């Protein structure tokens, strides 16, 4: 290796490959509600079905759904999925705020 080789490597073009740490956020969560009756006769319950647009990155391994009631307080984890839909059964009545995080194969997180 010589000093002249250093100049050759430094002048080489940069890659155009995608960056695994540059994960675009998934789409905004869309919520639909359904009512259901439990098998054990526990009564009428509420099911929230949350959908979102997938992140356009090929490096996304999973999505994590979080929610908080009334839009205040700590975010509560409601699971992870490799799809774009999650259901929350027996959700408490009231106004809820939802967010979805895209988790890359390298465990890097980007959220909406």
- Neighbouring C-alpha atoms within 13 Å toward the C-beta of 7: 3
pLDDT number for residue 44: 87
pLDDT by residue (tens digit) across 70-107?
878 899 999 999 999 999 999 988 899 999 999 988 87
pLDDT number for residue 5: 60
- HEC readout, 66-105: EEEECCCCCCEEEEEECCCEEEEECCCCCCEEEEEEEEEC
pLDDT by residue (tens digit) across 16-31?
777 777 888 999 999 9
Judged by DSSP in three states, 54 sits in: coil
Q: Note the pTM of the prediction, 2 decimals.
A: 0.76
pLDDT number for residue 101: 92
């Amino acid at each position: 290796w010589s000093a002249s080789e250093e100049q050759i490597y430094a002048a080489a073009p940069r890659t155009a490959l995608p960056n695994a740490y540059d994960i675009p956020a998934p789409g905004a969560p869309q919520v639909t509600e359904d009512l259901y009756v439990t098998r054990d006769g526990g009564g009428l319950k509420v099911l929230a079905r949350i959908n979102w647009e997938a992140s356009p990155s090929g490096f996304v391994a999973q999505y994590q759904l979080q929610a908080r009631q009334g839009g205040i307080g700590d975010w509560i984890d409601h699971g992870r999925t490799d799809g774009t839909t999650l259901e929350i059964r027996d959700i408490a009545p009231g106004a809820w705020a939802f967010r979805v995080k895209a988790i890359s194969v390298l465990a890097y997180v980007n959220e909406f």
